[in-house]
Amino acid sequence: MWRLFLLQHYSKSGVQYLVMIIKLILFFYAHSLVFSNDIPFGHPEGPALQGVENVMDTILADDYNLEILMSFANHKKGAAGHLALAVRKPGSNEETVYSANFYADRKPEHQEGYYTEDLIMAIPKQEYLYGVRSSISNHARFGLDFGELFKRSVVGVRVYGVSEAQLDGIIAFYARMNQDYTNRAQNTEYQRGEVVYDYMNLNCAKSVAQAFKYGAGFDEVSVRGNHILGNLPYAKALFAHTPTETTMQILKVLHKFGARFDVILYKRSEDSTYQNDDPPMAFKELANRFPSVKSLDFFNGSTAYEDYDNLLAMNLFFQMGKFSFEIPKGTQMVVLEKQKSPVPYDVAMEIAKDAASQDSKNALRRMVRLLGLKLTADNDTSDMYDPQASVSRAHLFETLYASE
């Protein structure tokens, strides 16, 4: 009798326990759905983009090894942008983006509420570009460490022909940088002074150049600022790496060693109302400027670029372009916008040089205009240059592959 009572009691208790667990699961699931729906699109923890898996499948069908990711600039006061490096694990579709941590500068104002554990963050590529939540930390920054494409467009230069040993070298180098950062190492082989983030010294672009030089062993890649002048306040800007200049010189070196390239344009969403810190405005209202070389274009606050090196880079990336992906306004889906056959690097460079020469303006004439001096009608042809009528290279990517 006791045996029957215990069996009935525990069977009943077991069923009640199971029902309680199911109710809890349903409650939290329903709560999460309501919570997610309450958060607008283009915000952290908001609705996920649709179509991302299709994008990744399309991209990963090619056998590239690396992708240099150049993010557009959001600030009208300067068009530096951001540079990161995606490494594809050999024989797999696993890609990790290595991105210098803007807040790993040991400044007091970044010690709380910011992710500062690593100097070089290792982020899954899909999360870096399209993610609405971070797998790294609750303190990761939306639009910088994840969900980049809700804030700004990205140009991805894919690299083919890098060896497995070179890929392993890059990964090991970034691990070393993080260990040196943790240990507060000084005057290492690759960096003069402390290994810590510095916008004008050890910045995002320099960390990518260092990975190619000291990690992959491409000794011809130039790394600037590792001397006494590189740490002087007024000289730092002269030696600072910028994304476009750094990418261009890396491609030049890698081409000599037989590497091949193509380019992807990832266009940003124009619907995110998430509020940016500096400048304080919604993501969708921020400037979305091609990352400029150090030139008059850098500070002019415009997308009407005139500098030869900027035009050369934009034309080169256009010629080498293969895919363009966009998030159509008013939708929550990323789609393949255009596709073309990429032009090989050496041919693309010659085409880009010719186009840049035709489109760039006389630098001296522009400097005179900026100084406020009036030129005579005989030597001022500036009003002959009509950015609206000509093919604007600053908006080149907005019409990417339109001719094919």
Over pLDDT 90: what percentage of the chain? 60
Structure pTM?
Answer: 0.80
Residue 89 lies in a domain: yes
What pLDDT digit, counting tens, does each position of 197-212 carry?
998 889 999 999 999 9
Residue 44 lies in a domain: no
- The SS3 of residue 129 is helix
Residue 124 lies in a domain: yes
The Cα-based distances of 87 to 143, 161, 169, 268, 338 in angstroms read 20, 13, 11, 22, 25
What pLDDT digit, counting tens, does each position of 247-271 carry?
999 999 999 999 999 999 999 999 9
What pLDDT digit, counting tens, does each position of 307-357 carry?
677 788 888 999 999 999 999 999 999 999 999 999 999 999 999 888 877
Average pLDDT of the segment spanning 224-240: 63
Q: Looking at the 3D structure of the chain, how many domains does it have?
A: 2
pLDDT band at 385 (very low <50, low <70, confident <90, very high): very low
60 shares its domain with 137: yes
3-state secondary structure 300-344: CCCCCCCCHHHHHHHHHHHHCEEEEEECCCCCCECEEEEECCCCC
Among the ranges given (85-99, 228-242, 297-311, 363-377), the one the predictor scored with the smallest mean pLDDT: 363-377
Residue 47 lies in a domain: no
The pair of structure tokens assigned to 357 is 């020469």
10 shares its domain with 70: no
What pLDDT digit, counting tens, does each position of 98-120 carry?
999 999 999 999 999 999 999 99
33 shares its domain with 137: no
66 shares its domain with 2: no
Query: Distance between CA 227 and CA 362 in Å, rounded?
Result: 34
* Torsional sign, CA 92, 94, 99, 105: negative
Which range has highest mean pLDDT (277-286, 345-354, 364-373, 388-397)? 345-354
Among the ranges given (3-7, 20-24, 79-83), the one the predictor scored with the smallest mean pLDDT: 3-7
Average pLDDT of the segment spanning 114-129: 98
pLDDT band at 74 (very low <50, low <70, confident <90, very high): confident
Which pLDDT belongs to residue 164? 96
| Dihedral of the alpha carbons of 103, 108, 113, 116, in degrees to the nearest 10 | 40
30 shares its domain with 168: no
Average pLDDT of the segment spanning 355-376: 50
33 shares its domain with 129: no
31 shares its domain with 154: no
One-letter amino acid at 385 equals Y
Residue 13 lies in a domain: yes
Among the ranges given (17-26, 46-55, 153-162, 362-371), the one the predictor scored with the smallest mean pLDDT: 362-371
Query: Distance between CA 382 and CA 132 in Å, rounded?
Result: 45
Cβ atoms within 10 Å of 74's Cβ, excluding its own: 25
Residue 375 lies in a domain: yes
The candidate with the shortest Cα–Cα distance to 87, out of 61, 62, 69, is 69
26 shares its domain with 146: no
135 shares its domain with 228: yes
**pLDDT above 70: residue 359:** no
251 shares its domain with 359: yes
20 shares its domain with 60: no
Average pLDDT of the segment spanning 66-86: 84
Q: Which domain holds residue 25?
A: 1-38
Residue 111 lies in a domain: yes
CA atoms within 13 A on the CB side of 111: 4
Residue 285 lies in a domain: yes
23 shares its domain with 131: no
